[in-house]
Chains A and B, each alone.
Chain A
Amino acid sequence: EIVLTQSPGTLSLSPGERATLSCRASQSLSDTYLGWYQQRPGQAPRLLISGAFRRATGIPDRFSGSGSGTDFTLTISRLEPEDSAVYYCQQYGSSVWTFGPGTKVEIK
């Protein structure tokens, strides 16, 4: 089973700042098999990125994904108040699909 580790646990930034969220896999993973989700308080998760860098329909271009191998990154280029949420990565490149523990983004 591929274990995903996300860092930092919590990120506290001001509107307009850049957020960089990390997702590290315990084994090398093709970038084809990595997704990112946003979960706002009290809501269902929402797909942001699939295949490590493909934005989902309707997702603003200030969200971008990158990475390969064992290290992947979600970048939010200019934070807005509505970006306050927990962000999860997910891998689907092994027999057991797994999610990372999440990074909480707080907007000051």
Chain B
Amino acid sequence: EVQLLQSGAEVKKAGESLQISCQGSGYSFINYWIGWVRQMPGKGLEWVGIFCPADSDARYSPSFRGRVTLSADKSVNTAYLQWSSLQASDTARYFCARLPGTVGIPSTMVTTDGYFDYWGQGTLVTVSS
């Protein structure tokens, strides 16, 4: 059974750094891209970016590029979303989710495999100013 287990809730102050995690199990972690999605309180879903554990290829939404860093540790089947300096506006729940295909994502980002078939439970990040 495919599962994505995310780290627990975090409470931080503005300016602090943070890394949250997403551990995959039940499938070949290295072969599937992992995506991240933000959901601010009471709001909809926003695509943050995707990361390929096999070759560390990272793609970011323009809204998040430069603000977050995606990475993974293949040895522990875990993907990470990192901030170097949090802002109050980063307060949200962050979901990791798996892309369904094992082929590469083209640089155009146009792909039949651009949807998310399995999701983590979400990590709530609260940042106080």
Contact = CB atoms under 8 A, between A and B. Distances in A.
Given A45-B45, A45-B95, A96 B115 contact: no
Interface stretch (A16-24, A68-76, A99-107): A99-107
Given A44-B121, A45-B45, A45-B119, A95 B114 contact: no
Contacts, number: 72
B16 interface: no
B119 A44 contact: yes
Interface string B114-127: 11111111100000
Contacts of A90: 45, 47, 115-116
A47 B109 contact: no
Nearest to B35: A97
A101 B43 CA distance: 8
Interface residues of B, number: 25
A24 to B, nearest CB: 15
Nearest to A36: B115
Interface string A44-59: 1111001100001000
B112 interface: yes
B62 A99 contact: no
A63 interface: no
B44 A100 contact: yes
B46 interface: yes
Taking each of B61, B115, B120, which has the highest tally of chain A beta carbons within 10 Å of its own beta carbon?
Answer: B115
A90 B37 CA distance: 12
Given A33-B114, A44-B120, A56-B117, A101 B109 contact: no
A92 B117 contact: no
18 contacts: A33-B111, A33-B112, A35-B114, A35-B116, A37-B45, A39-B45, A44-B120, A44-B122, A45-B45, A47-B115, A47-B116, A50-B115, A90-B116, A92-B109, A97-B109, A97-B114, A98-B47, A99-B44
Interface of B: 37, 44-47, 61-62, 95, 97, 100, 108-122
Interface of A: 1, 32-33, 35, 37, 39, 44-47, 50-51, 56, 86, 88, 90, 92-102
